[in-house]
Amino acid sequence: MNNKISKSEKTRNFIIESMAEVFNKRGYAGTSMADAQAITGLSRGCIYGNFENKEIMALAVFEYNLAKLCTVIHNRIIKAKTFEAKLMVYARVYRTLAEDNFLLGGSPILNTATEADDTNGLLKERVATASLKWQTCMAGFVEEGIKAGEFREDTNAAQIAFTILSLIEGALILTRINGDPSRMDQVMTSVAQMLSNIGRIEKTIIN
């Protein structure tokens, strides 16, 4: 089997990797095909030969950034020993996003969602799918935690998943606006408390 990457594939990947940070920071509307030429050093013909238009390029870059983020989350989740710890992975990863530790520009889902509804139909659809998939995965961890006796049986898995995602995404916005990473620490504390509240550990009441 020939696993060699063709020259055209290498060029396409080079463009995507080169534009990943730019699109994630400037957004779809703030990035042009001329920017792609300037940043990659490639000709207009080469750029358009790989991407028919900016919409298609933006979608490819979003997929690249999303895959990078999902890989980090997945690698941490498989090491987590409890379902509570698996859910906390999302909050911890978003805490690192607040400081641009591994994905410059922050969350591609959050960044793209803020503008894709008006500018790019394909991106809007893909972001919605990615967000729903995350919520489904998180709800799945809650449901597994219920089965394992880690969480209470009356826990609404979908609601918990939606709340966690809303909290960490919202906190990242406020962190960016205020330049204060401690906002993420506050939300991590809130998420941890929420998961503790749905735990089945009996608490001793002192009269």
Mean pLDDT of each 10-residue bin along the chain, 207 residues long: 74 94 84 93 94 91 91 94 95 81 70 69 85 94 96 95 91 80 85 90 38
pLDDT confidence of residue 96: 83
- Nearest residue to 88 (alpha-carbon basis) of 150, 147, 154: 150
Q: What integer pLDDT is reported at residue 100 of this predicted model? A: 62
- Distance between alpha carbon 41 and the CA centroid of its chain, in Å? 29
Fold of 55-197: Tetracycline Repressor; domain 2 (1.10.357)
Contacts of 103 (CB under 8 A, 6+ apart): 24, 65, 68, 69, 72, 97
Looking at the chain, the whole-number percentage of residues with pLDDT higher than 90 is: 52
| Distances, alpha carbon 80 to alpha carbons 77, 87, 96, 112, 182, in Å | 5, 9, 17, 29, 24
Model pLDDT for residues 139-176, shown as the tens digit of each residue: 999 999 999 999 999 999 999 999 999 998 888 888 87
Q: Domain-by-domain residue ranges, the chain?
A: 55-197
Predicted TM-score of the model (pTM): 0.83
For 115-139, how does the pLDDT look when each residue is reduced to its tens digit (9 = 90+)?
Answer: 666 667 778 888 889 989 999 999 9
Instruction: Classify each residue of 146-155 as buried b or exposed e, where b means 16 or more C-beta atoms within 10 Å of its C-beta.
Output: beeebbeeeb
pLDDT at 111: 77
Residue-level pLDDT at 1: 47
- Per residue, what are the HEC states of 117-178? HHHCHHHHHHHHHHHHHHHHHHHHHHHHHHHCCCECCCCCHHHHHHHHHHHHHHHHHHHHHH
Neighbour-count burial of 96, counting CB atoms closer than 10 A to its CB (0-12 exposed, 13-18 middle, 19+ buried): middle
28 and 54 Cβ atoms separated by less than 8 Å: yes
Q: Which residues lie closer than 8 Å to 200 by C-beta, 6 or more apart?
A: 149, 150, 151, 152
pLDDT value at residue 34: 92
> What integer pLDDT is reported at residue 104 of this predicted model?
65
Say how many Å lie between the first and final Cα of the chain, rounded: 72
